[in-house]
A and B are shown apart, each in its own frame.
Chain A
Amino acid sequence: MDLQNTFSSTSLSFLLEGFLVTLQVALFAILLSFIFGILLGVCRYTRVPLLSHLATAYIEIVRNLPLLLIIFFGYFGLREWGLKLPVTLSVIVSMTLFTSALVAEIVRSGLNSVDKGLVEASRSQGFTYIQTLRHIVLPLGLKRTIPPMVSQFISLIKDTSLAVVISLPEMTHNAQIIYNKHYNATIPMLILVALVYFIVNYSLSRASRRLEKKLIG
């Protein structure tokens, strides 16, 4: 085991660079899929025929495909169609396309969990459908989506490592470069990277559990 090259300052600073790319890609993708996921989820919930059917088709197809396929599509596929995105942007696009579908399902089940009686009561008080959605269904329904959404975003952070296939210089990719050079450092390097992911994701999931208790309890 080559611990010297695993913990050398060159290795660690190269890994840190990768970590920053991972964080950057993850943050943008989380923000975008949060927005698009809520829009898609609301479209599906509303039962406005065309909107809801389009949203359903998108959600059902995308969430049943491997993310890896979508990452390949976002890079090589779009290129074939003449859209040459820089690798970082293409990963953000792919991640967003994929995660929005999953966030949309979370949003839909959150909105569905709002008591139908409340919706009827609000309509009979003279609220329009849009007003009911905005003032009753969304605030109550979205609150319940926080914990599953956080686990979805934790998955997203982990899944940025799939972008290793198109050489996005994120943490896993940089680790790979290091251990390709120092073969005996492979295992300690992989464990070190796993621990970094673990610390980030475990802290997030703890924080979300605490938030959940506060919101419900």
Chain B
Amino acid sequence: MSFDISSLEAYKQDFIDGFLTTLSASLLALVLSLAIGTVIAVIRLSRVRLLEWIGTVYVEFFRNTPLVIQVFFFAMGLPSIGIDISEFTAGAIGLSIYTGAFIAEAIRGGIQSVPSGQMEASRSSGMTYVQAMRFVILPQAFKLVIPPLGNQFINLVKNSSVLAIIAGGDLMYAADIVSSQTFQINLTYIFVALLYLVITLPLSYGVNRLERHLAQTV
């Protein structure tokens, strides 16, 4: 077991590209899954039977099936019926749909923890349901939802490694390429693990601090 870190130097660009791809896939999926999650959470609480049902089916189906299958659906399923999308897009869409289900649950939990009197008060002062949601309930709910959303983002960064399976050019993919060319397998893995920790550890730490802070103030 000898670690010669200089053997990785030639692959600097692979690691940089992979790191940036992991970051951009995670950020893109975060934005998309926040949008999906908010819509699904709101329709699940709408008390319109059909919408509620659609929301429930979405959440239960996507969080109980593997991310890999969802990503394969976009990366291999769609091309099989003539719809070609890039590996990166397939990965980002798969990640967003999967994470959207978890974010929907987090947001629903946040909305439900806002006392129901607030909705009644807003409605009785003349706001529509949508207005009440937008101006009264959601702003309060988002505050409670920040820590679980932070955790979902950490998961998103880790889960973006599925891009490697469909040759999506992310950090894990770089690890795969470099380790198979240098035969320095564990050295490469340890280096890549450190790069993941550079993203996830500060996030974890931030979420923990925030959680403790909120526990004292709310």
B27: chain A residues within 8 A (beta carbon): none
Alpha-carbon gap, A80 to B61, bound state (A): 39
Known contacts A64-B197, A64-B204, A69-B193; A164/B80 CB under 8 A: no
Alpha-carbon gap, A198 to B61, bound state (A): 6
B162 nearest CB neighbor, chain A only: A68
B70: chain A residues within 8 A (beta carbon): 194
Check: B24 CB closer than 8 A to any chain A CB. no
Known contacts A161-B68, A205-B64; A61/B176 CB under 8 A: no
CB-contact partner of B176 in A72, A183, A187, under 8 A: A72
Known contacts A190-B77, A198-B61; A77/B196 CB under 8 A: no
CB-contact partner of A76 in B81, B185, B197, under 8 A: B185
Known contacts A61-B197, A165-B165, A183-B80; A69/B192 CB under 8 A: yes
B171 to chain A, nearest CB (A): 9
Alpha-carbon gap, A190 to B165, bound state (A): 16
B180 to chain A, nearest CB (A): 9
Say what secondary structure dominates the interface of chain B: helix
B64 nearest CB neighbor, chain A only: A201
CB-contact partner of A60 in B1, B77, B204, under 8 A: B204
Known contacts A64-B196, A190-B73, A197-B69; A202/B80 CB under 8 A: no
Residues of A within 8 A of B (CB): 1, 60-61, 63-69, 72-73, 76-77, 79-81, 154, 158-159, 161-162, 164-165, 172, 176, 179, 183-184, 186-187, 190-191, 193-194, 197-198, 201-202, 205
Give the top 8 A-B pairs by smallest Cβ distance, nearest first.
Answer: A66-B161, A186-B80, A201-B64, A64-B200, A158-B66, A161-B66, A66-B158, A68-B161
* 24 A-B residue pairs with CB within 8 Å: A1-B81, A64-B201, A66-B159, A68-B164, A68-B165, A69-B172, A69-B196, A72-B172, A72-B175, A73-B189, A76-B179, A81-B1, A154-B64, A158-B65, A158-B66, A158-B67, A161-B69, A172-B68, A179-B76, A187-B73, A194-B69, A194-B70, A198-B64, A201-B64
